[in-house]
Amino acid sequence: MPEQFEALRLELRNSGIAPVYVERTIAELTAHLADLESAARAAGFVGAEAERMARAQLGDDRAIAAAVLGRPELLAWSTRYPRVAYCLQSAATIGTLPGLPIVYCIEHRPGLARWGVSLGLAVTIVGSIMAALNALIVLV
Protein backbone atom coordinates (compact mmCIF):
# COMPACT_ATOMS: atom_id res chain seq x y z
CA MET A 1 0.00 0.00 0.00
CA PRO A 2 2.79 2.56 0.66
CA GLU A 3 3.52 2.74 -3.12
CA GLN A 4 0.15 4.52 -3.43
CA PHE A 5 1.82 7.51 -1.85
CA GLU A 6 5.10 7.29 -3.74
CA ALA A 7 4.34 10.40 -5.84
CA LEU A 8 3.44 12.32 -2.67
CA ARG A 9 6.63 11.16 -0.97
CA LEU A 10 8.71 12.37 -3.93
CA GLU A 11 6.94 15.72 -4.04
CA LEU A 12 7.46 16.32 -0.32
CA ARG A 13 11.10 15.23 -0.47
CA ASN A 14 11.80 17.43 -3.50
CA SER A 15 10.11 20.38 -1.82
CA GLY A 16 12.52 20.20 1.12
CA ILE A 17 10.28 18.71 3.83
CA ALA A 18 12.33 17.07 6.60
CA PRO A 19 12.75 13.36 5.74
CA VAL A 20 11.51 12.31 9.18
CA TYR A 21 8.19 14.06 8.58
CA VAL A 22 7.93 12.77 5.01
CA GLU A 23 8.26 9.18 6.18
CA ARG A 24 5.91 9.67 9.11
CA THR A 25 3.30 11.33 6.91
CA ILE A 26 3.41 8.43 4.45
CA ALA A 27 3.26 5.81 7.22
CA GLU A 28 0.37 7.53 8.99
CA LEU A 29 -1.55 8.09 5.74
CA THR A 30 -1.12 4.42 4.88
CA ALA A 31 -2.49 3.34 8.28
CA HIS A 32 -5.30 5.88 8.03
CA LEU A 33 -6.30 4.61 4.59
CA ALA A 34 -6.37 1.04 5.92
CA ASP A 35 -8.67 2.18 8.76
CA LEU A 36 -10.96 3.96 6.30
CA GLU A 37 -11.13 0.87 4.10
CA SER A 38 -11.98 -1.31 7.08
CA ALA A 39 -14.72 1.14 8.07
CA ALA A 40 -16.10 1.16 4.50
CA ARG A 41 -16.16 -2.65 4.42
CA ALA A 42 -17.86 -2.73 7.82
CA ALA A 43 -20.48 -0.37 6.37
CA GLY A 44 -21.23 -2.90 3.64
CA PHE A 45 -19.06 -1.67 0.76
CA VAL A 46 -16.88 -4.21 -1.01
CA GLY A 47 -13.69 -4.39 -3.07
CA ALA A 48 -12.86 -1.46 -5.31
CA GLU A 49 -15.79 0.59 -4.07
CA ALA A 50 -14.54 0.44 -0.47
CA GLU A 51 -11.06 1.42 -1.67
CA ARG A 52 -12.41 4.31 -3.76
CA MET A 53 -14.52 5.62 -0.87
CA ALA A 54 -11.59 5.42 1.53
CA ARG A 55 -9.30 7.26 -0.86
CA ALA A 56 -11.88 10.00 -1.43
CA GLN A 57 -12.33 10.46 2.31
CA LEU A 58 -8.59 10.72 2.85
CA GLY A 59 -8.32 13.52 0.25
CA ASP A 60 -6.20 13.74 -2.88
CA ASP A 61 -2.41 13.91 -2.88
CA ARG A 62 -2.36 17.52 -4.09
CA ALA A 63 -4.46 18.75 -1.16
CA ILE A 64 -2.32 16.81 1.32
CA ALA A 65 0.90 18.08 -0.26
CA ALA A 66 -0.42 21.66 -0.16
CA ALA A 67 -1.30 21.25 3.52
CA VAL A 68 2.20 19.97 4.32
CA LEU A 69 3.97 22.61 2.23
CA GLY A 70 1.89 25.33 3.87
CA ARG A 71 3.74 24.63 7.13
CA PRO A 72 7.31 25.93 6.90
CA GLU A 73 8.16 24.47 10.32
CA LEU A 74 8.11 21.01 8.67
CA LEU A 75 10.84 21.97 6.22
CA ALA A 76 14.26 20.40 6.67
CA TRP A 77 16.67 22.56 8.64
CA SER A 78 18.98 22.94 5.64
CA THR A 79 16.06 24.17 3.49
CA ARG A 80 14.92 26.68 6.11
CA TYR A 81 18.37 28.12 6.63
CA PRO A 82 20.26 27.39 3.38
CA ARG A 83 23.02 29.98 3.97
CA VAL A 84 23.81 28.66 7.45
CA ALA A 85 23.78 25.09 6.12
CA TYR A 86 26.09 26.10 3.27
CA CYS A 87 28.53 27.82 5.67
CA LEU A 88 28.54 24.83 8.04
CA GLN A 89 29.12 22.45 5.15
CA SER A 90 32.03 24.55 3.92
CA ALA A 91 33.49 24.80 7.43
CA ALA A 92 33.20 21.05 7.86
CA THR A 93 34.95 20.48 4.52
CA ILE A 94 37.77 22.90 5.37
CA GLY A 95 38.09 21.34 8.83
CA THR A 96 38.36 17.88 7.34
CA LEU A 97 41.03 18.73 4.73
CA PRO A 98 44.08 18.80 7.11
CA GLY A 99 43.02 15.45 8.52
CA LEU A 100 42.87 13.73 5.14
CA PRO A 101 46.66 12.99 4.86
CA ILE A 102 46.61 11.43 8.33
CA VAL A 103 43.59 9.32 7.41
CA TYR A 104 45.31 8.33 4.17
CA CYS A 105 48.46 7.27 6.05
CA ILE A 106 46.45 5.19 8.52
CA GLU A 107 44.55 3.47 5.71
CA HIS A 108 47.71 2.70 3.70
CA ARG A 109 49.95 1.71 6.62
CA PRO A 110 51.50 -1.47 5.11
CA GLY A 111 52.36 0.12 1.76
CA LEU A 112 53.77 3.24 3.39
CA ALA A 113 55.83 1.08 5.81
CA ARG A 114 57.36 -0.83 2.87
CA TRP A 115 58.15 2.43 1.08
CA GLY A 116 59.65 3.83 4.30
CA VAL A 117 61.91 0.81 4.79
CA SER A 118 62.99 0.84 1.12
CA LEU A 119 63.74 4.55 1.22
CA GLY A 120 65.66 4.15 4.52
CA LEU A 121 67.74 1.33 3.08
CA ALA A 122 68.45 3.31 -0.11
CA VAL A 123 69.56 6.36 1.90
CA THR A 124 71.76 4.18 4.14
CA ILE A 125 73.42 2.40 1.19
CA VAL A 126 73.98 5.59 -0.82
CA GLY A 127 75.25 7.32 2.35
CA SER A 128 77.63 4.45 3.06
CA ILE A 129 79.00 4.48 -0.50
CA MET A 130 79.44 8.27 -0.36
CA ALA A 131 81.19 7.99 3.02
CA ALA A 132 83.48 5.23 1.70
CA LEU A 133 84.35 7.25 -1.40
CA ASN A 134 84.99 10.30 0.78
CA ALA A 135 87.30 8.28 2.99
CA LEU A 136 89.20 6.93 -0.01
CA ILE A 137 89.67 10.47 -1.39
CA VAL A 138 90.94 11.71 1.96
CA LEU A 139 93.32 8.75 2.42
CA VAL A 140 94.67 8.93 -1.15
Partner 1 sequence: MAQTNPPFLSGVPELLVLRMLSGREMYGYEIVKAMRLVTGEAIGFGEGVIYPVLHSLEETGALKARRKSVNGRERVYYGVTSKGKRRLEHLSGEWKRVSTGVNSALGGALGDAEHA
Q: Considering only 31-39, 42-50, 82-90, 110-118, which stretch makes contact with partner 1 by CB under 8 A?
A: 31-39
- Is there binding between residue 121 and partner 1 (CB under 8 A)? no
- Comparison of 5 and 83: residue with beta carbon closer to partner 1: 5
Annotate 83-102 with DSSP letters as a single string: HHHHHHHHHHHHHHTTHHHH
By CB under 8 A, name the one of 44, 47, 73, 101 that touches partner 1: 73
By CB under 8 A, name the one of 10, 24, 120, 135 that touches partner 1: 24
Q: Considering only 72-80, 97-105, 111-119, 129-137, which stretch makes contact with partner 1 by CB under 8 A?
A: 72-80
- Is there binding between residue 28 and partner 1 (CB under 8 A)? yes
| Dihedral of alpha carbons 8, 11, 14, 17, sign | negative
Q: Which amino acid is located at 130 in the chain?
A: M
- Comparison of 38 and 117: residue with beta carbon closer to partner 1: 38
By CB under 8 A, name the one of 1, 6, 32, 114 that touches partner 1: 32
- Is there binding between residue 3 and partner 1 (CB under 8 A)? no
The CA distances from residue 140 to 45, 63, 82, 124, 134, in Å, are: 114, 100, 77, 24, 10
The CA distances from residue 117 to 71, 102, 121, 122, 128, in Å, are: 63, 19, 6, 9, 16
Residue 98 has phi, psi (to 5 degrees) of -65, -25
Q: Considering only 60-68, 80-88, 102-110, 118-126, which stretch makes contact with partner 1 by CB under 8 A?
A: 60-68
CA distance 114 to 117: 5
CB of residue 10 vs partner 1: minimum separation in angstroms?
A: 16
